[in-house]
Chain A
Amino acid sequence: MTLAVNILLWLVVAALAFFTSLRGRVLLDTGVRAGLGEFIRLLPRIGAGVIGAGFIAEIMPKALVASWIGPESGVLGIVIATLGGALTPGGPVVGFSIGAAALKSGAGAPQVIAYSTAWALYAIHRLVIWEVPLMPARVVWLRAAVSLPLPFIAAAIAVLLAQP
């Protein structure tokens, strides 16, 4: 599976590189250099996230995680996970490592989907640092308000998809 994903990804990279090179050599160089720079900047953050996720999963109280947001926790678990996601501060490192750690310690997949959906939509720091300064404030609030039901819909669809 991971090999297939890798091959697919690199085919996409090759195709994009080909199209970019048709537009000009300089463009391709700039693009590849930007991509590599981004990769090098991300490395330490992802490393900390992955290694952190492993250790956080080890210290998470597994019984508690399973009873609060485990596969049996149902709608209440989804509500708890949504609240947790909305309140998780920090960038992708924090959100994804907590989600992955929860999954490892026995959380249910629909609950983790609700968690990561809520976190992606709300991430308080992103709302305040980026969204409010760069967009009209009332549009930001509108966006946040219409996002309220989405984690629940995502979890519901996940449940439906998993039970054909």
Chain B
Amino acid sequence: MAFAAAAAVYWRDGPTHFLDVLGGDVALFAEMLPKVLAGCLIGALVTMILPRELVARWVGHESGLTGLLIASFFGFLLPGGPITIYPVAGAFLVMGADAGAVCAFIVSWTLLGYTRALVWELPFFGAHFVIWRILGALPLPIIAGLLARIAVQAGFHYERGK
């Protein structure tokens, strides 16, 4: 897609404009590299300090609003991509966490996860936009968790293991 868009710009506006755009993009890319590197290192080091089993045990044993808050907090804190996050969420269920906590955790990871915000969002959108979006997203994991609990109370059944 990047190539197609680049070709279209080249074809439509000529080489000078093409090089202008390319130069601006390359400068932006160079500027974001230190942040991306910092984001990667933070993610890797947190993984070293905070074993996932420990987190799963924590979330599994809490309930009520505290459970949702703790699940959201760890969704924010735990680095990694989908391949590491979903097994943790599955482990929560096995260890006794309710569906509300699991929903809060996943929503929090997708919306508040700082590795994604640092590595991807900050460079693309700029700090002002990211802070604004994250402030707006803060209550969402809790809302998702509460909605999930309402659904379960209304008779939605789910299984604990795969």
Contacts and interface: CB of A to CB of B under 8 A. Distances in A.
Nearest to B162: A136
B126 to A, nearest CB: 8
Contact of A31 (B6, B44, B121, B137): B44
Interface string B28-60: 110110111111111111111100000000000
A31 B144 CA distance: 33
Given A50-B28, A136-B160, A145-B151, A116 B133 contact: yes
A2 B103 contact: no
Chain B residues touching A, majority SS: helix
Q: How large is the interface on B (under 10, 10 to 19, 20 to 34, 35 or more residues)?
A: 35 or more
Contact of B38 (A10, A97, A136): A10
A120 B12 CA distance: 33
B47 A34 contact: yes
Chain A residues touching B, majority SS: helix
Interface in A129-163: 129-131, 134-136, 138-139, 142-143, 145-147, 149-150, 153-155, 157-158, 161-162
A117 B132 contact: no
Given A136-B162, A143-B144, A150-B144, A157 B49 contact: no
Nearest to A110: B136
Interface in B68-116: 82-83, 86-87, 89-90, 93, 99, 102-103, 106-107, 110-111, 116
Contacts, number: 251
Interface of B: 1-2, 5-6, 8-9, 12-13, 17, 21-22, 24-26, 28-29, 31-32, 34-49, 82-83, 86-87, 89-90, 93, 99, 102-103, 106-107, 110-111, 116, 118-125, 127-129, 132-133, 135-137, 139-140, 143-145, 147-148, 151-152, 156-162
